[in-house]
């Protein structure tokens, strides 16, 4: 490989991290709108550790996971929260007086 040429493995890893970040962002914002009585705050920081994303909504109810074994026929949803937890390196849910805030850290490098 020529000096200075992009490493295809680095590009692939970067694309996976970007896809993970977009998926987690979409999931959290969609859930705030659909299940959390509306999006009340959205913040994003890029640090040496990765992307820190904070999404707040107006509901104090925690995120819900649906057990696949107890799903009703035709039931949709319930997969987003486990997906967020799997893709993020750190997840925190903070209950606030007027809702909740979810903060996630998405690593800048994909898991090994």
Segment 27-80, tens digit of pLDDT: 999 999 999 999 999 999 999 889 999 999 999 999 988 777 777 777 667 788
Q: Please, are residues 106 and 50 in contact by the beta-carbon 8 Å criterion?
A: yes
Query: Using CA atoms in the order 93, 24, 47, 55, what is the torsion angle rounded to 10 degrees?
Result: -40
- DSSP 8-state class, residue 49: S
DSSP code for 93: E
Q: Dihedral sign for Cα 102, 78, 38, 19, please.
A: positive
Gap between the Cα atoms of 77 and 54, Å rounded: 22
pLDDT digits (tens, 9 = 90+) for 2-15: 455 455 667 887 88
Please tell me whether the overall predicted TM-score, pTM, comes out greater than 0.85 for this model.
no
- 38-72 in b/e form (b: 16+ CB < 10 A) is ebbeeeeeeeeebbbbbbbbebeeebeebeeeeee
């Amino acid at each position: 490989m020529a000096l200075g040429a992009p490493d295809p493995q680095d590009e692939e890893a970067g694309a996976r991290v970007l896809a993970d970040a977009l998926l987690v962002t979409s999931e959290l914002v969609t859930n705030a709108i659909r299940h959390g009585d509306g999006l009340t705050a959205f913040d994003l920081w890029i640090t040496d550790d990765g992307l820190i994303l904070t999404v707040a909504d107006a509901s104090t109810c925690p995120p819900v996971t649906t057990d696949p074994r107890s799903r009703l026929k035709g039931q949709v949803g319930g997969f987003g929260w486990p997906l967020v937890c799997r893709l993020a390196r750190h997840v925190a849910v903070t209950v606030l007086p007027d809702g909740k805030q979810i903060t996630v850290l998405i690593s800048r490098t994909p898991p090994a």
